[in-house]
Amino acid sequence: MKLPKLGLVRFAKSREVKGRILNATIRRNPSGKYFVSLGTKTEVTEWPKTRSAIGVDVGIKDFAILSDGTTYSNPKFFRSLGEKLAKAQRIMSRRTVGGGN
């Protein structure tokens, strides 16, 4: 990748870039690794219009029930984010009130 003021820089591509690159944001995390976020412009494809309607009922036992009888089970957000919550609570427990941390 060619960057202004730096020249050619090697990088590991996580996925193929689709569209025209408009801008790039370079960030450095606390461990010293650099990350690049690319802003692109792509063509948006429209979905075909079906001219049909469906009703959605959001509940507690089931996440959603459609008028055609399809049910979607309730996702357990707390369970899936439990590890992230535990890590954040550990970080907060080590902080001091009024400290610059």
Q: Where are the domains of the chain?
A: 56-94
Please say if the pLDDT value at position 100 is more than 90. Answer: no
**What pLDDT, on a 0 to 100 scale, did the predictor assign at position 27?**
86
| Spatial distance between the Cα atoms of 25 and 27, rounded to a whole number of angstroms | 7
- Model pLDDT for residues 51-99, shown as the tens digit of each residue: 888 999 988 888 899 999 999 887 777 667 888 888 999 999 999 888 7
Q: How confident is the model at residue 1 (pLDDT cuts 50, 70, 90)?
A: confident
| Spatial distance between the Cα atoms of 23 and 15, rounded to a whole number of angstroms | 17
**What pLDDT, on a 0 to 100 scale, did the predictor assign at position 87?**
92
When comparing pLDDT for 37 and 60, which is higher? 37
**Phi and psi (nearest 5°) for 92?**
-65, -35
